[in-house]
């Protein structure tokens, strides 16, 4: 909600800029439609009603925007902050309700990630570790363990789906030292201790429409994944939509190579491959000296009818390296 205090500040700034002899009143104000839209939003906050407030503001005549420039800017900043909070609440709601797909099994992991995934699993020993971000029902991990897999497995997810609670509980009891499911928080809020990092870093990290698919902190979560990965370890994740304005990426054609693939290829300490067939990414860590080109956030927006958000960034770093497309 837009607080009463923010509205008082906004109204006071309008009054201070009003040159009328009779003073400012809401009923005669150019901002009446905007204020009515704010009332509607506060009764039932939604992305649509927030956008309507912005539309009302944008419809103000240019002269009024200049006359009330301080109030106009103050409300714009308030709306920008409200938009961030609204999107965060919407993301939490959708995660809590498991609006995202949660039923992926071993075959879908194999289909999505190919030999990078199957080879990593085949080479795992009792000391090897597998982390699955946004694991849903953790079907693939449980099937791996039930099939005789020896590695140590940790699944993460904002909430364990109700349908999977019995199987997750049974897997924890059956494999007390080799399976755990960390839930109840965003991936960024999970501690090293909860990931049992004292046992070592991970040989394999998978993310099938998980953390990378929806996160609002893309760069931070990717850095965390890479920091948790052993040198020689493999990170695989499914195709995600990210737009990056890259003025210093020479000979870049986003129709041929996704912006994300080009940007990630310029992270030092990893090799990046993208599958032309599935769109999935394979990142192999070859050094602990990880340096990630800076991204500036332009847009993060929840889209109606879609689980993946609209994410736009800019990067002014030189991006000379091209990804491998297979």
Comparing 95 with 146, the larger pLDDT belongs to: 146
- CA 189: distance to chain centroid? 13
Residue 152: strand, helix, or coil: strand
Percent of the chain with pLDDT over 90: 52
Q: Are 200 and 228 in contact (CB under 8 A)?
A: no
Residues 130 and 323: their CA atoms lie apart, in Å, by 25
Task: Compute the average pLDDT of residues 191-196.
Answer: 96
pLDDT tens-digit profile of 251-296? 999 888 999 999 999 999 999 999 988 999 999 999 999 999 999 9
Domains of the chain by start residue, with CATH: 4-96 (no CATH), 106-325 (3.40.50.150)
| pLDDT reported for residue 78 | 84
With a cut of 70, say whether residue 24 has pLDDT above it: no
How is the beta sheet containing 202-207 ordered, strand by strand? Answer: 179-183, 152-157, 129-133, 202-207, 229-237, 281-285, 270-274, 324-325
Residue 293: strand, helix, or coil: coil
On the 0-12 / 13-18 / 19+ scale of CB atoms within 10 A, 201 is middle
- Interior angle at CA 285, CA 281 and CA 286, nearest 5: 135
Residue 45: strand, helix, or coil: coil
* Number of residues assigned to the chain: 326
With a cut of 60, say whether residue 91 has pLDDT above it: no
With a cut of 60, say whether residue 62 has pLDDT above it: yes
With a cut of 80, say whether residue 18 has pLDDT above it: no
- CA 128: distance to chain centroid? 28
Residue 92 pLDDT grade (very low, low, confident, very high; cuts 50, 70, 90): low
Element (H, E) at 204: strand 202-207
Residues 91 and 162: their CA atoms lie apart, in Å, by 19
With a cut of 70, say whether residue 110 has pLDDT above it: yes
Task: Compute the average pLDDT of residues 228-252.
Answer: 94
| pLDDT reported for residue 42 | 86
Q: Which of 108-112, 283-287, 302-306, 319-323 has the lowest mean pLDDT?
A: 302-306
| pLDDT reported for residue 271 | 96
pLDDT tens-digit profile of 200-223? 999 999 999 989 988 889 999 999
Quote the mean pLDDT of the chain.
87
Residue 102 pLDDT grade (very low, low, confident, very high; cuts 50, 70, 90): very low
- Predicted TM-score (pTM) of this structure: 0.71
Comparing 102 with 223, the larger pLDDT belongs to: 223
| pLDDT reported for residue 79 | 82
Residue 100 pLDDT grade (very low, low, confident, very high; cuts 50, 70, 90): very low
- Interior angle at CA 156, CA 155 and CA 160, nearest 5: 95
Q: Which of 35-49, 130-144, 182-196, 212-226 has the lowest mean pLDDT?
A: 35-49
Bridge partner list, 325? 274
Closest to 116 in 3D by CA, of 237, 264, 227:
237
With a cut of 90, say whether residue 69 has pLDDT above it: no
| pLDDT reported for residue 22 | 55
């Amino acid at each position: 909600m837009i607080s009463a205090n923010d509205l008082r500040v906004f109204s006071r700034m309008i009054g201070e800029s009003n040159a009328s002899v009779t003073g400012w009143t809401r009923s005669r104000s150019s901002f009446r439609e905007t204020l009515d839209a704010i009332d509607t939003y506060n009764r039932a906050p939604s992305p649509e009603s927030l956008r309507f407030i912005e539309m009302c503001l944008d419809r103000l005549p240019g002269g009024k925007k200049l006359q009330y420039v301080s109030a106009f800017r103050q409300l714009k900043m308030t709306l920008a902050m409200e938009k961030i909070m609204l999107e965060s609440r919407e993301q939490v709601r959708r995660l809590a309700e498991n609006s995202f797909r949660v039923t992926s099994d071993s075959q879908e992991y194999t289909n999505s990630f190919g030999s990078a995934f199957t080879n990593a699993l085949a080479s795992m020993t009792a000391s090897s570790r597998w982390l699955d971000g946004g694991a849903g029902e953790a079907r693939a991990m449980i099937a791996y363990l039930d099939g005789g897999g020896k590695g140590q497995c940790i699944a993460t997810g904002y909430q364990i789906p109700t349908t999977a609670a019995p199987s997750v509980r049974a897997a924890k009891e059956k494999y007390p030292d080799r399976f755990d499911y960390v839930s109840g928080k965003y991936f960024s809020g999970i501690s090293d201790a909860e990931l049992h990092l004292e046992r070592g870093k991970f040989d394999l990290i998978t993310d099938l429409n998980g953390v990378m698919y929806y996160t609002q902190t893309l760069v931070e979560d990717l850095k965390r994944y890479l920091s948790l990965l052993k040198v020689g370890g493999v990170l695989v994740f499914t195709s995600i939509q990210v737009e990056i304005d890259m003025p210093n990426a020479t000979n870049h054609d986003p129709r041929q190579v996704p912006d994300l693939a080009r940007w990630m290829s310029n992270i030092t300490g990893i090799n990046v491959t993208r599958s032309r067939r599935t769109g999935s990414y394979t990142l192999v860590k070859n050094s602990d000296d990880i340096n990630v080109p800076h991204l500036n956030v332009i847009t993060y927006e929840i889209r109606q009818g879609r689980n993946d958000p609209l994410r736009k960034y800019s990067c002014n770093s030189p991006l000379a390296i091209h990804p491998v497309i297979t």
